[in-house]
Structure formats: C-alpha cells, structure tokens
Amino acid sequence: MAWQTIDRLTPVVDEKAPPVLSEAVREKIRSFFPRYETRRAALLPALHVVQDALGHVSKAAMKEIAEVLEIPPSAVMDTLSFYTHFWDHPKGKKVIVLCRSLSCQVMGADRVLQEVKDQLKVEEHGTTADGQYSLLTEECLAACDHAPCMLINEKMHKRVKADDVAKIIKDVKNADVTMPRSHLFDKPAAAAVELPKTSDVKEMKDA
Ligand code: FES
C-alpha cells in the first residue's frame, strides 16, 4: 500500500468497539520482546502476527499494537504503509505477488502479470469478486536466478511462463508451503535464549 495521510479531526477508530486483538495475539507479540532492546523494535513481527491472525491490520488493530508496544499509533501506520506486504483492509484468501524488478522483467514478468489479470479479471491491488485472490506487484522477491517469480501467499513459484498461469491458479495447493516456517518466528522467546549475547560473540572473536 502507498503512504497515507489521515484526517486527524475525524475519529478512525470506534473507541467503544471491543478490542480486535485477542489475548493470545497480544501474548504472541509480547513473546518477541526478549529478542530486542526496545519494544518498538518488535513492530515488524507484531504486524506479521496480527496479519496472520486477522488477515489484515485495521486501524483499530494498529492502535492496539501501539498500546502493546508503547509507541504512538502513527509509528505503526508509518511502518505498515511502507510495506506492500501489509494490508489495512481485507484482502483475498490468497495473495498473488509478482516480481516487477529487472531480472523478472527481462524474463517476461509483464506477460505473466497480464495473464494473471486476464485469468482472474482483477487489477493490481484489487481482489477478485469471490474474495479468493488479491494481486500485487513488488520489487525483487530474492529469487532472481529463477525469474520470473511469483508468490502465492508464502509459496514461491519459479520460472513462471504466461502459459503456466491458468494451471497454477487452478491448483488448490498452489499456496501450500512444504518447508517449515522460521523457528525464530514460531518460537521467538525460546530462540532468544539460544542466541549468543553480543558480548559473548565479541569474547569468542577475541579468544
Ligand atoms: S528480480 Fe525478480 S526475484 Fe529478483
């Protein structure tokens, strides 16, 4: 999403509405605190946690994240609006992200993008009428040697040709990830205990 400005005279959050973050989500965010020197530093993991749980990060969720991290809500919005990965409004069940950087462009990413648009009848930043797919383009997806690349949720599709698109979209398992998710994300507190302290690393280097 793009940078946003807000009208500060009009409330964007209903103060009387019940909280949108469950205690489990708040606890998951708090579990990242031991990894960082400040709570603010846990903002990106917090956004991931909330988007994983709720599908997107609404203005109400931003305000509650700010409370947990003890930072201004504007700081949450600043960070969220910088990354296309985060959504402040509902998105499709699956998000297709096509790379628009050089290697993929050279290898035909434009044709793949057009085919996705034609197949799904959706434009960039749009969501299909049935709510199944949203479409985005982003800069390099870090798999340039497999260009053109396309993500469906967290599943990377490599060397995608325009002719492959219909088959990929029809595949109900097109977003299934076979690799386990990061241990650091799933067990942040435990991982923090296992990580060496900066001072230990220095001593190891000095030895
Ligand atoms: S340029 Fe497309 S993955 Fe890097």
Q: What is the CATH number of the domain that holds 109?
A: 3.40.30.10
50-83 residue pLDDT tens: 998 998 999 999 999 999 999 999 999 999 999 8
Nearest of 181, 204, 206, 183 to residue 194 by alpha carbon: 183
Does residue 52 sit within a domain? yes
CB count within 10 Å of CB 135 equals: 21
The finding on whether 156 has its CB within 6 A of some atom of ligand 1 is no
- How far, in Å, is the centroid of ligand 1 from the Cα of 88? 26
CB 72 within 8 A of CB 66: yes
- How far, in Å, is the centroid of ligand 1 from the Cα of 192? 31
The finding on whether 149 has its CB within 6 A of some atom of ligand 1 is yes
Locate the ligand 1 atom nearest the alpha carbon of residue 101 and give its number: 1
In this structure, the answer to whether residues 37 and 61 fall within a common structural domain is yes
What's the predicted TM-score (pTM) here? 0.69
- How far, in Å, is the centroid of ligand 1 from the Cα of 34? 34
Q: How far is CA 108 from CA 105, 136, 147, 150, 158, in A?
A: 5, 16, 8, 12, 12
Locate the ligand 1 atom nearest the alpha carbon of residue 104 and give its number: 2
pLDDT on residue 26 = 97
107-163 residue pLDDT tens: 999 999 999 999 999 998 889 999 999 999 999 999 999 999 999 988 999 999 999
In this structure, the answer to whether residues 109 and 64 fall within a common structural domain is no
pLDDT on residue 191 = 52
Does residue 102 sit within a domain? yes
- How far, in Å, is the centroid of ligand 1 from the Cα of 145? 8
Q: In total, how many domains does the chain have?
A: 2
Tell me which amino acid residue 21 is.
L
At residue 66, φ and ψ (nearest 5 deg) are -60, -40
In this structure, the answer to whether residues 107 and 67 fall within a common structural domain is no
Nearest of 137, 204, 186, 191 to residue 28 by alpha carbon: 186
